[in-house]
Amino acid sequence: MQATEEKWDTIITSKAPLFDFRLGEVWRYRDLLVLFVKRDIAQVYKQTILGPLWFFIQPFITTIVFTVIFGNLAEISTDGIPPILFYLAGITFWNFFAEALTKSSTVFRDNANIFGKVYFSRLVLPLSIVMNSFVKFCIQLLMFIIVYVYFMSVNDAVRPNAMALLFPVLVIITAGLAFGFGLLITSMTAKYRDLYFLIQFGIQLWFFATPVVYPLSEVDPENRIYAILNPMAAVVETFKYGFTGVGTFEWSYLAYSAGFMVVIVLLGILLFNRIEKTFVDII
C-alpha cells in the first residue's frame, strides 16, 4: 500500500531539474504538432480563389525578382556560376533560416493567450513553426530545381557532385540553428523585451555576413576564418558547391556548423523549458 501511495504520474514543483529536455512530452503531443502545421498552412489560403496555388506564386515571384535584379544589374562575382542559379541557391536556404528564426523568436508573445489557458508541451509550437517554414522551403526548392535543370541542359559546367548528397544534413543544420536561436530569443525576450527590437536588425546584418549574394572566395583569406565563424556560412557554401561544383567546401567548416547547431538546440530547449514554467506571469 505504501509503495503505491508514493507513485505519482505528475509532480509539479517550483523549479525544473536543470537537465530535463522533456522530449517524451513532445512525442505525446505529436498529433497536435501535425495539426498546428496543417492549421498554419491552411489559414494562408482560406477564402482565396487560387487556394494552395498561392504557395507557389510567392516563391515564383521571388525567383523572377532575383533573375531580373541580379541577373542583369549586380556586378558582384558569382564564381563563374550563372548569376540566377547562384543567387537562387543562396536565397533558398537563407529564407528558410530567416523565416523559421523570425517566427519562432516570438512564440511566447504570440501565444500568450493560449499558453495562459491550457497546458500542452510548449515545444510543440516552435517545432511546428520550423516545420511550416520547411514546407515553404520545399516549394522554393522546387523552383530552384526547375531553374537548375534548365541550366544543366544549356551549360556543361553546371553539374552536381558527391557533396550534393549532403543536402539533408544541410537542411537539418539550418532547421536546428533557426529552432535553437528562436528558442533562445523568445525566452530572453519574454520578460525584458528590449532585445526584441534588435532582432530584425540583427537578422539583416546576419544576411550580409552570410555568403548569400557573394561567394566565400571573395572574402580575403585572412578574414575568411571570421566569416566561417557564422554557422550559416558553411551551409550555404556547401549547397552551392554540391550543386554547381564552384564554391568553398571544407569538412571542418561543416563539422563546426553541425556542432554549433547541436549546442544551440540544447541550450535553447533548456532555457525555453525553464522560462516556460512561469512565463505566463511575466509576459
Partner 1 sequence: MRTVIKTENISKQYRLGTIGTGNLYSDLTRWWYRLRGKEDPFLVIGETNDQSVRGNSEFVWALRNINFEVQQGDLVGLIGKNGSGKSTLLKLLSKITAPTTGVIKLRGRVASMLEVGTGFHPELTGRENVFLNGTIMGMTKKEVEKKFDQIVEFAGVARYIETPIKRYSSGMSVRLAFSVAAHLDPEILLVDEVLAVGDAEFQQKCLGKMSDVSKEGRTIIFVSHNLGSIRRLCNRGLVLSNGNLVFDGEVNLAVDNYLESLPSHDDTGSNVVSFEQDDSKLFQFTYISIEDGNNQSRGKYFYGDKIMVRLGYVIRQDCRNFSVRLALARNGETLFWTFDTDENEALFARRAKGEYLACIALPDFLKAGIYTVSVSFIEMGFEKEEHIDIIRFVLDDSTFDTSTKSYHLDRPGHIRPHTKWVYTEHPVEV
Give the interface with partner 1 as residue ranges (CB under 8 A): 4-5, 7-16, 29, 31-32, 34-36, 38-39, 42-43, 46-47, 114-120, 191-192, 277-278, 280-282
Residue matched to cell numbers 491552411: 42
Of 61 and 282, nearer to partner 1 (C-beta) is: 282
| Nearest distance from C-beta of residue 52 to partner 1, angstroms | 15
CB of 9 to partner 1, least distance (A): 5
Of residues 238 and 273, the one with the C-beta less far from partner 1: 273
Q: Are 90 and 213 within 8 A, CB to CB?
A: yes
Cβ-based nearer residue to partner 1, 117 or 154? 117
Q: Which residue has the cell 531580373?
A: 68
Minimum distance of partner 1 from residue 109's CB (angstroms): 13
Orientation angle between helical segments 251-276 and 167-188, nearest 10 degrees: 30
Q: How far is the CB of 93 from partner 1 (least distance, A)?
A: 30
User: How far, in whole angstroms, is CA 199 from its chain's centroid?
Assistant: 15
Please identify, using beta-carbon distances, which residue of 42 and 146 lies nearer to partner 1: 42
User: Measured from the CB of residue 183, what is the shortest distance to partner 1 in angstroms?
Assistant: 19
What is the helix (H) or strand (E) element at residue 131, kind and residue range? helix 124-154
> From CA 163, how far away is CA 153, in angstroms rounded?
20
Amino acid at 27: W
Please tell me the distance from the alpha carbon of residue 122 to that of residue 120, in angstroms, as a whole number. Answer: 6
* C-beta of 72 vs 113, nearer to partner 1: 113
CB atoms within 10 A of CB 153: 9
Give the residue with the Cβ less far from partner 1, 34 or 149. 34
| Neighbour tally for 200: CB within 10 Å | 10
Query: From the centroid of its chain, how far is CA 195?
Result: 20
Give Cα 59 distance to the centre of its chain.
16
Q: How far is the CB of 4 from partner 1 (least distance, A)?
A: 8
CB of 261 to partner 1, least distance (A): 29
Distance CA 65, CA 72 (A): 11
Q: What b-and-e string marks burial along 39-54, b requiring 16 or more CB atoms within 10 Å of the CB? A: ebeeeeeeeeeeeeee
Q: What angle do CA 72, 161, 96 make, to 5 degrees?
A: 60
| Residue placing its CB nearer to partner 1 in the complex, 31 or 222 | 31
199 contacts 185 by C-beta, under 8 angstroms:
yes
| Minimum separation from the CB atom of position 204 to partner 1 (A) | 28
Whichever of 219 and 280 has its CB closer to partner 1, that residue is 280
